[in-house]
Chain A
Amino acid sequence: MKTLLPLLLLLCFAGLWACQEPVDSIPIPYTPKMVVESYLNPTEATIRVSLRTNEPMVGSSDASIITDATVTISDGQQTVTLPFHGDDYWIGTLTNAKIRLRAGTTYTLKASAPGYESIEATCTIPTRASNLRWRIDGIEYIQDNRGYRVYNNYLLVWGGNIPTERQYFALGRQWAYADTLQTTSGQDSVFNGIQTVWDHFETDDVIRNNQLYARTFMGRISGRDSTIRNPRSTDLLLMQFDVNAYNFLKASQLQKQNGNNPFAEPSLVPSNIRNGLGVFGAVYQRRQTVP
C-alpha cells in the first residue's frame, strides 16, 4: 500500500476537477441465472448441490436462494433426483442412491426452476493423487519491534508416480484466531474467528518440480530462547480438483485477493454450467493439524 499511495495521490491531483455522479442511462446487462455449487467427493457419503441466483450488480436485491428447483444427477446409466434439504441446498445420500461416485466416471447435473433457464453441467472425477505429504522443514524467526515471530516451514513432498493425466491442487492453511477491539465504551471486546489462506494453486508438474512451502505461525517470543506465548495450531489444507473446480476456485481467490487493487486486471471467474453460473466439479480434501 505504501507503494500505491504516491500513485493514488497523483491520481487525486489529476482529479481536482473531477466530479462523480450515479449513472442510470447506461444499463448493465443482467439476466437472472442459477448459480450452482457442487463438488463431487468420492470419499464422502453425500452429494450436495447448492442453488442460488445471481443478483444484479446495480440496484437493490434481497435474498438469493432458490428453493423450488428440480435437481437431478446422472452417471450416464442411472439418474437420481435430489431432494431439497433446506437452507440453500439439495442433498442425496449415496448409501441409498442408485449411483456411486467413482474416479474416471463422468456425471451430469441438471436443474430447472421457474423463472430461470434450465442448466446442465458435466464433471469427470479425477484419480486421487497418492503419496503426497507435508514435511517439516525448519523453524524461522522473524524479528520485529515487539520481539520475534516464530514460524514453522512445511514442504509439500510428492512421493508418487507421475500421473498420466494432469492433476490440479490447492495448498492452504486455516487457523483460529482471537482479536481484541476497543469499543466505544472503552471496553475491550474479544473476537474469535477462522482465517483461511490459500498459498498455491498449482498443477502436479509444478509440485513435482518445485519446492512448495507453507509457513505456519507458531507464536511470539521475546527472545530466541524464550517460551512461545499463546501457541497456535494450524490446519494444513491440501485439495485436489478436477479442472473445472480448479479454474473456478483459483479465479475466485484471485478476484478476492485483488478486490482493492485498482491496478489489477479484472479476474473473470469461469463456469462450466451451461446457461448458468458457478461450478460442478470434483474434489478430494486432506487436512492435517500441525502445532
Chain B
Amino acid sequence: MRVYVTLGLLLLTFFTRAQSGRVTISGYVRESGSGESLPGVTVSVPAVQKGTTTNTYGFYSLTLPLSDTLEVVVSSIGFQSQSRKLALTRNLEMNWQLLVSNAELKEVVVSGNYQTRESQKVQMSTISVPIEQMKDVPALLGEKDMLKVLQLLPGVQKGSEGNSGLYIRGGGPDQNLLILDEAPVYNAFHLFGFFSIFNGDALKSVELIKGGFPARYGGRLSSVIEMQMKEGHKEEFHGEGGIGLISSRLVLQGPIQKNKSSFIISGRRTYVDILLKPLLPAENQGSYYFYDLNAKLNYDFGRKDKVYLSGYLGQDRFSFRSQIRNNQQGGGLDWGNKTASLRWNHLFSNRLFANTTLLFSHYAFQVNAQSSQTFNNLTSQFNLQNSSTIRDFTFKTDFDWSPIPQHSIKTGLSVTSHRFLPNTITLENSIISQNVSQIQPLDSYEGGIYLEDTYHPFSALRINAGLRMSYFATEGRTYNRPEPRLALSYTFPRHWALKASYATMNQYIHLLSNSSVGLPTDLWVPTTRNVAPQQSQQIALGVAKDYSQFSVTIEGFYKKMDNILSYKEGSSFLASTGLESLTEASDSRSWEEQITAGQGWSYGSEFFVQKKTGRLTGWVGYTLSWIQNQFAELNGGKKFWARYDRRHDISVVGIYHLKPTITLSSTWVYGTGQAISLPQSTFEISGPTQPGFVPSFPTRISDYGQRNSFRAAPYHRLDVGIQFHKKKKRFSRTWEVSLYNAYSRKNPFFYYIDDSQSTPTRNNRVLTQVSLFPIIPSVSYSFKF
C-alpha cells in the first residue's frame, strides 16, 4: 500500500510541475435549444494539433500551452461546427451550444477538425452510428431497433431470422455488455428477440466497442454497447411518437425548471393482444404483449454539480387459458427488466471531473402452469411456477483528469452485489399431495478498479494504456484477475493511420442457452466455486484512411476464449420427461451438473466503409471470419464450428435524402448459413442381449457426424423504405412505407427431418426448412412537436 501511495504522490508532483506555463479550457458542449449534453464531440486546436472529445456528460477539459490567441474548433457529426479565437493566458471555462446542421436535408459539413476522422482516433474496433441515421434504416414492421442496426456492422453477426441477438467477433450474446445510462441490461429483447427493448426515440447515443477495450470497461468478453438516454429539453415542452402495425410509442420531454432541470418520459406498447382477443373462442383465450417505459430527470445545481435520475421498466407477458367441461388449464410466461441509476457529476476543478453512480438492475422470467380437473367429484389442482432472477446493486465512481496536454487519465472503481436465483421452482400438486418450493439464492460480489491513460507523446502517436483489476467473490472463493489493455494509433500523412490493440477480459456471469432463438428461459448464472470465470485475450491490427466524404477501416483480429460454457450433450433447462424430472431439476445445483467448460478461437478480418455526411449516407461492411470451439465433453473432445460461425458476412446500408420531404433507404445483408447439428444417417441398435430375455436397449439412433457439421442455407435479404416528411403548423410528421425482405427470400429459421411419409417397411424422410418472414410490407406514422 505504501508503494502505491508513494507512486501516486510522485505522479501528482510530476503532473503539478508539468502544468506550469499551461492553461486549461474546460466546459460543456450542448445542443442548442434543447440543452441536451453532447458526448463524443471533438474540441480541438488545429494550430497546435491538440484536441479532446467530450465525455458521456458532454464535459471536456483541454490543457494547452500559454498563447496569445488560438482558434478552438468544436464539431460533431450532425451539427454545425463552431470556432472561436481565444486568448489562452489563463484558465478558461467555455461552454458551447451546437446547432443541428440543416435538419431537413441532414447535410453535414465537417470542417476544420481532425479528430472526427477515423485516422485520428486512438480507439479501434469502435463504431458509433448517429441515432438519426439509425432511425432512417428500414425495419421489420416499421419497428426501429437500435440493436438490429448494430447487426449490420462488420464483426457483428445476428442469430436466426428476425433475432436481435448480437454475436460479436465469435462471442455469444451473453458476452456483450449492454449499458443503458450506466446500468447493465441482462435480457435486451422482446418477443423471442424479434425486437430489442430500447426505444430509439428516447436514446441520445449508441456506441459499439468490439475490441481494444479501454480499462474502464469490464465484465464481458466480446463487446460493450453503451447507450445514453436523452436528458429532456431544458427550455420547451416537446413530444414525439409513432403508430405502427403492432405497437405505438410516445416520448414527452420538457423543462421542470427552465435551464435548470428537465425530464423525459417515453413509453411503448404492443396491441396484438387487444386486436386478436375478439377473434379467439371464449374457451381458448391467449394473449401476448410487451411494453417498456423510460424516464429520466436531471437537475443542474450549478457549475459544479449535476444529478441525473433515470429508470427503465420493460415487461413481456404471454398467457393462455382454456376450459373444456371440467378441465381448466392455464399458464403463462413473463419476463422483464428493471433498471435505475442515480448519477452525480461533480467538477473538482477544470481538469478533474467525477461521476458517481448508484445502480439497480433486475431481470426475472417466470413460467407458470395451472390446471384443475374434476373426476368422480374429486377436484385435483396443479400449480407450477418456475422462475429465474438476477438482482444487482452497484456503486461506481469514475474520474476524468487532464493534467497536461499529453495525458488524459481516467480512473475509477465499481462494486456490484449480485443475487442470483437461477432456477426457482414452486410446485403445488394436490393429485399426489406434493409441494415443492426451492429458493436457493446465490450471492456474489463483483468489483473492478482501473487506471487508463491516453498519452500523446507527439502528434502522430497516440497510446491508450490501462490496467483493470477485476474481483469476484462467491461461496467463500475469490477470483482476482488483472486485465491489461493497450491501444496504439500512429498517424501518417494524408489521413492514414495504423492501429493496434490488445485486451484481456474476464466475465464472471454466464448465460446458459440451448437455443439460438434467444428464449427468455436462458439462464443467467454466476461464477461459482466449481465454475471458473470466462476469459478472453484479443489482439487486433488495422488501418484507417479518411477521405473527404467517407472513411475506410480494415481490421484483423484474433481472439482466444477460455472457460466458455455450454450445456452438455443431451442437456436441457427443461426436461421433457415430465414432472418428476422437473422437480429433480429443481436442485439448485442442477445447472452446474449440466454444463461443461471449453475454449474458443475467433479470427478474421473486417472491412468497413462509412459515409456519415452528405445526401447519401450509409456504409458497406464485410467480415471474413472463423470461429471454433473445443470442449472435452462435446463432440468427442474434437474442435467444432461454433453455431454462429459465419465465413462471410456482408451488409450494405444506404440512406438517400432525395428532397427535404423524402428520404429513401435500403439495406442488403448476406451471411453464410449457421452451423447446426442435424442427423446425417440413422441406424438401429438392440443393446446387449441375454439368452431368454427381451433386449433392453432397442432403439433407433441418429448419427450426427461432427457437432454443427451441417450448414444452413445462406441468409440474404433486401429491405427498402421511403419516408415522407412534412412540417405542419404545430408539428412535423413522417409517413414511412417499407418492405422487409423485398424479394421474399425464404431464409432458414430452423430445419427438421419430416418422417411423416415413412411407412413401417420403408423410410421416407425429408429435410424440411421453416422460414419465418416472406416479404412484409408495413406502414407507420410518426410525429414530432
Contacts and interface: CB of A to CB of B under 8 A. Distances in A.
Contact of B771 (A20, A58, A251): A20
A65 B634 CA distance: 30
Contact of B680 (A28, A41, A62): A28
Interface string A8-21: 01110111011111
Contacts of A17: 772-774, 776
B682 A54 contact: yes
Given A20-B771, A145-B431, A6 B681 contact: no
A190 interface: no
8 contacts: A5-B331, A6-B318, A17-B774, A21-B746, A37-B686, A57-B765, A64-B683, A253-B699
A264 B572 contact: yes
Contacts of B684: 52, 64
Interface residue tally of chain A, by bracket?
A: 35 or more
B677 interface: yes
A18 B318 contact: no
A6 B329 CA distance: 11
Interface in A187-245: 194, 196, 198, 235, 237, 239, 245
A130 interface: no
Given A19-B746, A265-B567, A268-B569, A30 B681 contact: yes
A7 B521 contact: yes
Contact of A22 (B329, B369, B677, B768): B768
A268 B635 contact: yes
A249 B575 contact: no
B769 interface: yes
Contacts of A28: 678-680, 710, 767
B1 interface: no
Given A266-B704, A283-B688, A18 B770 contact: yes
A253 B682 contact: no
A30 B767 CA distance: 13
Interface stretch (B108-116, B371-379, B614-622): B371-379
A77 B285 CA distance: 73
Interface string B312-339: 0000001110000000010111000000
Residue from A172, A265, A277 with most neighbouring chain B CB atoms (10 Å): A265
Interface string B754-774: 100000001111111111111
Interface stretch (B50-58, B196-204, B341-349, B380-388): B380-388
Contacts of B433: 143
A9 B519 CA distance: 13
A4 B574 contact: yes
B774 A19 contact: yes
B683 A52 contact: yes
B576 A287 contact: no
A153 interface: no
A50 B369 CA distance: 47
B278 interface: no
B260 to A, nearest CB: 47
Contact of A264 (B192, B378, B570, B769): B570
Given A14-B772, A261-B576, A269 B703 contact: yes
A35 B703 CA distance: 11
Interface in B499-538: 514-515, 517, 519, 521
Nearest to B712: A26
A41 B689 CA distance: 10
Nearest to A257: B577
B279 interface: no
A263 B520 CA distance: 12
Interface in A47-69: 48, 50, 52-62, 64
A247 B437 CA distance: 34
Given A37-B685, A58-B767, A263-B514, A29 B680 contact: yes
